Structure 1
Amino acid sequence: MYSTLEQKYKRIQQELMAGAGALVLVLLIGTLWYWLVEGWSWQDAAYMTVITLATVGYGETHPLGSRGRLFTIGLILMGVINIGYIVNRFTEAIIEGYFQEGIRLRQQRRLMESLLGHYIICGFSRTGRQIAKEFRSESVAFVVIDADMESIQRAQTEGYIAFQGDATLDDTLLKVGVERAICIVAALPSDAENLYTVLSAKTLNPQIRAIARASTEEAVQKLQRGGADAVVSPYITGGKRMAAAALRPQILDFVDGMLSGTDRQLYMEEFLLEEMACPFVGQSLQMAKLRSQTGALVLAIRRSDGSLIGGPTGDTVLMSGDTLICMGTAEQLRSLNKILGPINSQQLRRPKNS
């Protein structure tokens, strides 16, 4: 499915090609008439056809009878109409910027084809816009998909890579490189659309992490069954946060500050341990001495089987596939990133306000 902009560009391109094809056909008809009917040579027939269509006012190459002059009048009319159509389409294309738009679309397509390990945001409503702001602040490469032209224009105005299309369709997801992406966020208004998007993304790229928005508890369950790795309900989450703000305000402010970087001091980050890249796999936390080397604190460890170890002790052994959830300053987390080795071939995201 092409976007509206692509459809308009392709339409004007097809119209110009059709006009050029019709002009070539008129040239061929005129040449064949003067050659076969009037009995002229190929060169004279082609020359007569060209000067007639160009309306340059030259005289007849050879004398013409009544039949030949009537045909020449018809040839002039066909040429004038055809050339007028081409000029009209070409002028419209220049005035409305179709050629510039075509260049921009090709540049955008090449840019999307070059994306690797990026994130995909489906839907640029209030939720999608906030996600995009967070991704930008984290220096994350991402692309926005939305079916609404106004939303796409707004995304482009804000400097985001945006593609107009239906995120529930495989063709749209393939155009934004879903097979090369590491995460897709389905933030569309409809729970059904989010479910279809997750199903399509998981089918095209089983390894992709899928985050989905849900409006109801029932939708949360269906999206989880559909393959979503995480489902967020703004209403449920918002209610829990409001309750936490009322009951444990200091804790909530502390955690929010680390997640968003608004306190400009402490941040939280996750690190995936790979056996071939991390030198500490098989060692205990005490032996690894991550805290003494970097100053960063390991808050929890998520095992590859999904089990979570909260507040790991010095005897906890680091294993391949573990995800370390750590807290520290921006510099401490950068130091930890260096000694742990590459993380899925990605650099540590730049913390906000650092």
Structure 2
Amino acid sequence: MPTPSEPSTSQGHVVICGFGRTGQTVSRFLESEGFEFIALDMDPAIVREARLAGQPVFYGDASDLTILENVGVERASLLIISHDDKPAAFMTLRHAKRLNASLSAVVRTRDQQHVEELLAAGATEVIPETLEASMLLTSHALQSLGVPLFRVAQQLQEQRSSHYRMLRELFRGTLDSIKPEETEKESLHSVILHEGCPAIGHSLSELDTEQDQVSVTAIVRNNERERYPAGSTEVQADDVLVLLGSQDNLERVERRLTGLEQPPAQ
């Protein structure tokens, strides 16, 4: 099986780590625009077929420092990690940045869970595929409803710039709560503040839910919903606060706001 055993002499090329569906799709667009690339994959069948088709694909572990040296990462213009092996992705980023500190790196991930860690490890951009699929569906929906293309593009760019803030605000069901990988994720929870709750009469700033890593994403008053209310907003009886945070933090904040000891229903 062909491996990158000899150092590449390529300059300014793109290194693609993982030549599955995503890696191959990216490579097609790179080819159509005249960009040179070298790809790595651990599936011998894919490597064999791709090489027979004349493509520069090698069998090799992209998290191996020597492999990265041999595909010329230190002279590459871009690194793309398109597989979904997170430990390997972190190792690849560390080695790549050691070889080429200024290298741009785009990393694919399944969801939002590891985005911050990957950015901290050296990724320039992290693309959560489930969120991007939602963004694509949103784009088509808005355009179908007659929203101008520039407004759609602006909305999507705002979400990407805020690391998909709006897309992380999700209500989670009972099935989500029994999945081990879901327990630490943020979710939305609605809290009704009845007459007599300690929070009544205080501003949102005074409630300081952020100390518990919980955000107020909306307030519902008299059946009117206000997104991202100002910190000066004073809480009134029968308001509903829509909170975003991890389950433990949501429970802590709800007990503090309502004065009740029982945790919120999930």
Cα pair 1:191 1:213 within 8 Å, conserved: no
Please state whether the residue corresponding to 2:101 is helix, strand or coil.
Answer: coil
Among candidates 93, 96, 104, match of residue 198 of structure 1? 93
Match of residue 227 from structure 2: none
Cα pair 1:198 1:212 within 8 Å, conserved: no
Please state whether the residue corresponding to 1:124 is helix, strand or coil.
Answer: coil
Cα pair 1:187 1:194 within 8 Å, conserved: no
Shift of 1:5: 4.3
Match of residue 195 from structure 2: none
Equivalent residues in 2 for 1:302-317 (5 A)?
A: none
Q: Which runs of 4+ in 1 moved over 3 A?
A: none
Equivalent residues in 2 for 1:274-285 (5 A)?
A: none
Which amino acid counterpart does residue 216 of structure 1 have in structure 2? Answer: D
User: Residues of 2 paired with 1:129 and 1:232: CA distance?
Assistant: 16
Equivalent residues in 2 for 1:136-151 (5 A)?
A: 136-151=31-46
User: Residues of 1 paired with 2:126 and 2:95: CA distance?
Assistant: 16
Residue 224, structure 1, aligned to residue 119, structure 2: yes
Match of residue 184 from structure 1: 79
Deviations for 1:67-126, whole angstroms, at most 9, x for unmatched residues? xxxxxxxxxxxxxxxxxxxxxxxxxxxxxxxxxxxxxx89xx4xx622101100000111
Shift of 1:133: 0.5
Match of residue 163 from structure 1: 58
Among candidates 244, 247, 251, match of residue 149 of structure 2? 251
Cα pair 2:17 2:82 within 8 Å, conserved: yes
Greater helix share, 1 or 2? 1
Identity across the alignment (%): 28
Deviations for 1:212-265, whole angstroms, at most 9, x for unmatched residues? 01112121111111110001111111111101110124628x97xxxxxxxxxx
Shift of 1:156: 1.4
Please state whether the residue corresponding to 2:30 is helix, strand or coil.
Answer: helix
Deviations for 1:313-340, whole angstroms, at most 9, x for unmatched residues? xxxxxxxxxxxxxxxxxxxxxxxxxxxx
Please state whether the residue corresponding to 2:8 is helix, strand or coil.
Answer: helix
User: Residues of 2 paired with 1:191 and 1:236: CA distance?
Assistant: 17
Shift of 1:157: 2.8
Please state whether the residue corresponding to 2:107 is helix, strand or coil.
Answer: strand
Equivalent residues in 2 for 1:201-216 (5 A)?
A: 201-216=96-111
Residue 131, structure 1, aligned to residue 38, structure 2: no
Aligned residues: 149
Shift of 1:154: 2.4
Which amino acid counterpart does residue 188 of structure 1 have in structure 2? Answer: H
Match of residue 17 from structure 2: 122
Residues 1:159 and 1:222: Cα distance change in structure 2 (over 3 Å): same
Residue 237, structure 1, aligned to residue 135, structure 2: no
Cα pair 2:111 2:129 within 8 Å, conserved: no
Residues 1:158 and 1:189: Cα distance change in structure 2 (over 3 Å): farther
Equivalent residues in 2 for 1:1-354 (5 A)?
A: 4-5=1-2, 109=6, 113-249=8-144, 251=149
User: Residues of 1 paired with 2:2 and 2:122: CA distance?
Assistant: 32
Shift of 1:204: 1.2
Which amino acid counterpart does residue 251 of structure 1 have in structure 2? Answer: L
Which amino acid counterpart does residue 60 of structure 2 have in structure 1? Answer: G
Residues 1:229 and 1:244: Cα distance change in structure 2 (over 3 Å): same
Residues 1:251 and 1:157: Cα distance change in structure 2 (over 3 Å): farther
User: Residues of 1 paired with 2:2 and 2:25: CA distance?
Assistant: 25
Which amino acid counterpart does residue 82 of structure 2 have in structure 1? Answer: A
Cα pair 1:213 1:234 within 8 Å, conserved: yes
Deviations for 1:155-202, whole angstroms, at most 9, x for unmatched residues? 213321112110011011001001111110001121222222112111
User: Residues of 2 paired with 1:162 and 1:188: CA distance?
Assistant: 15
Structure 2's unaligned 5+ residue stretches are: 154-266
Match of residue 271 from structure 1: none
